[in-house]
Amino acid sequence: MLSFGFSVENKGYLLDLGLIDYKKAWDLQHLFWSKRVEGKLSDLLLILEHPHVLTLGRRGDRSSLRVSPEVLEEKGIPLFQVERGGEVTYHGPGQLVGYPILNLKDYGFRVTRYVEELEEIIIRTLKDFGIEGRRDTRNRGVWVQDKKIASVGIAIQRWVSFHGFALNYQTELKYFDLIYPCGLKGVRMTSMKEILKKEISRGLLVERISFHFKEIFQREWEEKSLEEIQKKIGG
């Protein structure tokens, strides 16, 4: 039992950070990951959106970009090389991102099972909205027919996860034209809005994602603000 009154083994925290700069969220992941490794913080799920940004995973390089760095600079779209798996992806408004920071030993999950469970959360959530998602074991993420609607890219160090998943709910899909998504030529992206032909409630989407996340990763989950978590860890 920690001094601020929760058990790392049993508690978990859900944080909705809204629209947040990629670098700031990346720094928060590193901070929370380190505290989780040290046993000074419980499991967390960060739910958020990013301003327009491109990220390259461990296998990614600039050959997956369809435009020059100069074009990205003109458009005001930063590019980050990060430690998650996978290649290139786009994040932007209208895309719900989840960064679970979990000690996977507590769940008995190996890497493949963990990725499958993240996909399962998305598949169950899409079903709530009347959309049938599917897996492709050759290309991770979630697909609707022949189009990709959600990406999964994770990092696991010392058994604690970070990075995570990104679901297009009403994303401006034209920004995917800047890249070969996941390094794959010919991949077409879609969104919940494109499929359903209507606006998607972010609040309802967050509620359903959170519900299915809690079903799979069983903890005593509580909603907290960023300020509350920072106060707990003295950050």
Active site residues: 182
Per-residue tokens: 84: 């998650």
Q: Report CA torsion sign: 30, 202, 116, 114.
A: positive
Q: Which of 87, 109, 91 is nearest to 100 (CA)?
A: 109
Helix, strand, coil percentages in the chain from 3-state DSSP, rounded to 5: 35, 30, 35
Burial of 218 (0-12, 13-18, 19+ CB in 10 A): exposed
Which 3 state secondary structure label does DSSP give 179?
strand
Distance, in Å, from the CA atom of 65 to the CA atom of 88, rounded to the nearest integer, reads: 8
Phi, psi of 190 (to 5 degrees): -140, 180
For residue 7, the Cα-to-chain-centroid distance in whole angstroms is 25
The interaxial angle of helices 202-216 and 111-128, nearest 10 deg, is 140
